Amino acid sequence: MFLSLSVICLTVALLLAQVNKMTAEPIADARAMKLQNAISEVVPPFDNDPVAEAYLMPDGMGDSLLVYPARSGDELMGFALNSFSNNGFSGTIRIMVGFDMEHKIVNYAVLQHAETPGLGSKMTEWFRDITRPGQSVVGRDLSQGVLSVSKDGGEVDAITASTITSRAFMEAVNRAYTAYSGSREDALSGATVAADKEDKEITEAEGEKDE
């Protein structure tokens, strides 16, 4: 009996290992495709590979977020940020938020949540319904102030009967904006330094030519 059970357990373990090996690559490919699609959905058109250029940036809350820069040629179009909140009604909410270079939200995509179907789950569309400006966050300029729901004195209408989910969503967006601000400042500082260096080199070259 012991020998039979051992053989069965070993066979099952080998089969599971083989299945896991066979499905690992398709699962990884599916996740990569989902990530690419989410980035494409939330930032202006780009022609670089944001995933290959991704880096971590502090979110101002003791953690860091992955930042995906979107470029068209040499021009920086905006950033997509993989943000989250652990304060959803049913746990962690993870979203991809996109900003242009003017501090405005381009769009967002919900990557993960376990909120109540028909209630908190409405956040996948609720906060980007541009026909209802009171609840949409698309196009909002966060340099004018971070987001909060109207029940907390803010300007965004919460999901009906899902204030906790709505607050968590705002937390994730605000967390993303902090990381975006740092990324934008670094990018613009780098561009300024590069421009100053180029101007200096041109001036020096012209000076040598005059001599």
Domain assignments of the chain as residue spans, ordered by start: 40-200
Task: Specify the pLDDT at position 14.
Answer: 73
What confidence tier does 200 reach under pLDDT thresholds 50, 70, 90?
very low
Looking at per-residue confidence, does 153 or 8 come out higher?
153
174 CB contacts (<8 Å, ≥6 apart)?
142, 146, 147
Task: Specify the pLDDT at position 191.
Answer: 54
pLDDT surpassing 50 at residue 105 = yes
Looking at per-residue confidence, does 8 or 84 come out higher?
84
Looking at per-residue confidence, does 197 or 42 come out higher?
42
Task: Specify the pLDDT at position 198.
Answer: 47
Looking at per-residue confidence, does 71 or 7 come out higher?
71
Kindly report, residue by residue over 121-165, the tens digit of the pLDDT: 999 999 999 999 999 999 999 999 999 999 999 999 999 999 999
In the three-class reduction of DSSP (H, G, I as helix; E, B as strand; rest coil), residue 178 is classed as helix
Write out the E strands in the chain. 55-58, 64-72, 75-88, 91-100, 105-112
Task: Provide the H-helix boundaries in 43-162.
Answer: 123-126
Q: Which residue, among 100, 114, 113, has the nearest Cα to 46 in the 3D structure?
A: 100
Looking at per-residue confidence, does 24 or 192 come out higher?
24
pLDDT surpassing 70 at residue 32 = no
Task: Specify the pLDDT at position 203.
Answer: 45
Please state, as a whole number, how many other Cβ atoms lie within 10 Å of the Cβ of residue 52: 7
Distance CA 56, CA 113 (A): 22
Distance CA 63, CA 10 (A): 42
pTM (global) more than 0.85: no
Mean pLDDT for the chain overall: 87
Is residue 108 within 8 Å of 134, Cβ to Cβ? no
Residue with tokens 């990018």: 187
Distance CA 115, CA 136 (A): 19
